[in-house]
Amino acid sequence: MSAQPSDVIRPTVNFPLSVWGDQFLVFEQQEDKDGVEKLVDDLKEEVRKEILATLNVPMEHSNLLKLVDAIQRLGIEHYFEEEINQAMQHIYDAYGDNWNGTGTSLWFRLMRRHGFFVSSDIMNMYKDKDGAFSESLKDDVQGLLELYEATFFSIPGEVILDDALDYTKNRLHEIAKDPLSINSDLSTQILAALKQPLHKRLPRLEALRFIPFYQRQTSHNKSLLKLAKLGFNILQSLHKKELSQIYKWWKVFDVPNNLPYARNRLVECYFWALSVYFEPQYSESRMFLARVLSMATLLDDTYDAYGTYEELLIFTEAIQRWSITCLEELPENMKLIYRMLMNLYEEMDKTLAKMGKAHHLKYVRDAMNEYIRSYMTEAKWTHEGYIPTVEEHIDLTYISSGYKFTLAASFAAMGNIIKDKTFKWVFTNPPLVKACCVLCRIMDDIVTHKEEQERKHVASAIECYMNQFDVPEQHVYDLFNKKVEDSWKEINRESLICKDVEWPVIMRVINLARAMDVLYKNKDHFTHVGEELINHIKSLLVDAIIV
């Protein structure tokens, strides 16, 4: 039995329990009685032909962009990855920066969304000679919406896009205040866009929002709509199966009883992993990542809300050495976490071995070790009552945000696009990764710092800033909210100029940033799981779409 002095004071918290019960434990595979797979293949072929047919007809290029946009918003981009890449490359080669078709905002958004660095100078076309936005744009709701969405692809220093964002946001707010002036669909569109722009939305949630809207448009493409609905349900079935599989794994360790001090968030972590990639080919990676995130939650709470300083020193050392031998002196629950980690990594080791990539696991463990060491330094600061400078704080806490480790873990089993150099790139802290980690840290601190400071917890970025610059809290909130937007601009820029890794790798970073906008916007939805997140999870993992 390990040493467990009864008078140990632990910084425990009463975290809300999981809201899900065991409902995701059982999954029953449905037979394909109605030949849905064949139907999907036929529909895919039809859409594929349509994309390719419009490619070589310049007159049709504006429509081609509309088709690509609809496919993406309907959540079925993964069916046409090759064709869409070919289409976007073709448009870029044909026009470069000089698009001359209709729908400039859509063209700009899609080019940047696909990694083509087109100049924002073209957006000056929305201004008149005096530098004001044209009168014709003022009441063009669709045009305002398109321009608004395009501005979220800006990089630092693009004044025209900053101006366009201010202008369109104000106009859309004004129009939304007078809903009688427009139809209700458009009004719903405006409110949704103002709440969260397209660039920050998770593709699966956007598909659910967009499908009924698209259906109501008289000009909609029936094949595309049908494919979107069937495709959504097919993927949902796979996702449910994955969740059931990892839930069984989780149950074996009886987390709620064995680790009652920690947040039990497997389902939410699966949602998080699903935000990083929803595509079928990433099934193994997704199931691993969901468990990595769940383990990170247990680790976070062990460091922040359970372990004593002395215990954490031993625990950290044991993890760094990756050896069970030094665990004797630890409480049973820390031993359990250790066994869970070992079990998880052994499983991934087997998966990677089958792919001939067993050596990749070492990189994931190295990233985890760095992450754990950052937790230990935070524990040391808390133990010593040390309030770091803003610079010291961010240097450490962008690692303790867990996003660098999460990103490295997300690469496991992703396939041949992941090479040794992909992991090595992450370890150099490239600006793309750093911007995403900083965004994660700041968004987290903005919504969690008040609650965390009620117990013994490392100072948040907010406290450090207030302490160092002697400024009021609201000033720091304003500054940090601006910093979040600046981080997005950096992510945009780096995603356009970074040539060290391939596009699917860059998309993981963008999706991690998007996940923050869902889980940590305005409140900590992850710890305090409320109606909004429950509805997201139910819509993605419980209710099928009626076809």
Ligand X SMILES: CC(C)=CCC/C(C)=C/COP(=O)(O)OP(=O)(O)O
In angstroms, the CA 324 to CA 372 distance is: 16
> 304-333: which residues touch ligand X (CB under 6 A)?
304
Quick note: the x/- pattern for ligand X over 521-540, rule CB under 6 A, is: -----x--------------
Nearer to ligand X, 209 or 521 (CB): 521
In angstroms, the CA 193 to CA 169 distance is: 9
Q: 300: Cβ–Cβ under 8 A, 6 or more apart, which residues?
A: 375, 402
275 makes contact with ligand X (CB under 6 A) = no
User: Amino acid identity of 383?
Assistant: H
Nearer to ligand X, 223 or 369 (CB): 369
| Closest residue by Cα to residue 162 from 147, 176, 140, 141 | 147
* Nearest distance, CB of residue 451 and ligand X, angstroms: 9
Sign of the dihedral through C-alpha 146, 515, 511, 351: negative
Nearer to ligand X, 307 or 402 (CB): 402
Q: Which long-range contacts (CB under 8 A, 24 or more apart) does 525-533 make?
A: 526/263, 526/265, 526/268, 526/272, 527/15, 527/16, 527/263, 527/448, 527/451, 528/16, 529/16, 529/18, 529/19, 529/265, 529/268, 533/268, 533/271
* Nearest distance, CB of residue 547 and ligand X, angstroms: 35
* Nearest distance, CB of residue 272 and ligand X, angstroms: 7
What CA dihedral angle connects 54, 55, 57 and 58, to 10 degrees? Answer: 120
297 makes contact with ligand X (CB under 6 A) = yes
Q: Helix/strand/coil (H, E, C) string of 199-249?
A: HHCCHHHHHHHHHHHHHHCCCCCHHHHHHHHHHHHHHHHHHHHHHHHHHHH
Stretch that binds ligand X, among 116-124, 294-302, 357-365, 493-501 (CB under 6 A): 294-302
Phi-psi category of residue 158: left, alpha or beta, with phi > 0 → left and psi -120 to 50 → alpha? beta
Quick note: the x/- pattern for ligand X over 385-404, rule CB under 6 A, is: ---------------x-xx-
Q: Helix/strand/coil (H, E, C) string of 290-303?
A: HHHHHHHHHHHHHH
Considering only residues 275, 448, 495, 511, which one is a binding residue for ligand X as defined by CB under 6 A? 448
* Nearest distance, CB of residue 528 and ligand X, angstroms: 11
> What 8-state DSSP symbol labels residue 459?
P
Nearer to ligand X, 403 or 411 (CB): 403
Nearer to ligand X, 493 or 508 (CB): 508
Nearer to ligand X, 120 or 511 (CB): 511
Nearer to ligand X, 84 or 319 (CB): 319
Residue nearest to ligand X (CB): 402
300 makes contact with ligand X (CB under 6 A) = yes
* Nearest distance, CB of residue 522 and ligand X, angstroms: 14
Nearer to ligand X, 293 or 498 (CB): 293
Considering only residues 444, 490, 494, 517, which one is a binding residue for ligand X as defined by CB under 6 A? 444
Stretch that binds ligand X, among 31-39, 83-91, 293-301, 315-323 (CB under 6 A): 293-301
Nearer to ligand X, 316 or 406 (CB): 406
User: Amino acid identity of 311?
Assistant: E
* Nearest distance, CB of residue 526 and ligand X, angstroms: 6
Nearer to ligand X, 293 or 484 (CB): 293
In angstroms, the CA 274 to CA 539 distance is: 13
The two tokens of residue 55 are 């490619």
Considering only residues 293, 408, 442, 533, which one is a binding residue for ligand X as defined by CB under 6 A? 293
In angstroms, the CA 147 to CA 193 distance is: 11
Give Dmax (Cα) for the chain: 80
Nearer to ligand X, 153 or 411 (CB): 411
- The site that binds ligand X (CB under 6 A) totals a number of residues, namely 12
> Is there a contact between 363 and 423 (Cβ–Cβ < 8 Å)?
yes
Nearest-Å Rg of the Cα atoms of the chain is: 24
* Nearest distance, CB of residue 440 and ligand X, angstroms: 7
Mapping DSSP to helix (H, G, I), strand (E, B) and coil, where does residue 66 land?
Answer: helix
What are the Cα distances from residue 294, in Å, to 41, 101, 268?
36, 48, 8
511 makes contact with ligand X (CB under 6 A) = no
* Nearest distance, CB of residue 336 and ligand X, angstroms: 18
In angstroms, the CA 4 to CA 16 distance is: 26
Considering only residues 255, 296, 372, 439, which one is a binding residue for ligand X as defined by CB under 6 A? 296
> Is there a contact between 205 and 518 (Cβ–Cβ < 8 Å)?
yes
Quick note: the x/- pattern for ligand X over 122-161, rule CB under 6 A, is: ----------------------------------------
189 makes contact with ligand X (CB under 6 A) = no
Nearer to ligand X, 220 or 380 (CB): 380
In angstroms, the CA 288 to CA 273 distance is: 9
406 makes contact with ligand X (CB under 6 A) = yes
* Nearest distance, CB of residue 29 and ligand X, angstroms: 30
The two tokens of residue 355 are 């792919």
Q: Tokens 């040391």 correspond to what residue?
A: 380
* Nearest distance, CB of residue 264 and ligand X, angstroms: 12
| Closest residue by Cα to residue 78 from 238, 209, 249, 203 | 203
* Nearest distance, CB of residue 292 and ligand X, angstroms: 8
Nearer to ligand X, 147 or 409 (CB): 409
Stretch that binds ligand X, among 144-152, 212-220, 289-297, 324-332 (CB under 6 A): 289-297
Quick note: the x/- pattern for ligand X over 341-380, rule CB under 6 A, is: ----------------------------------------
Which residues contribute to the site for ligand X (CB under 6 A)?
293, 296-297, 300, 304, 400, 402-403, 406, 444, 448, 526
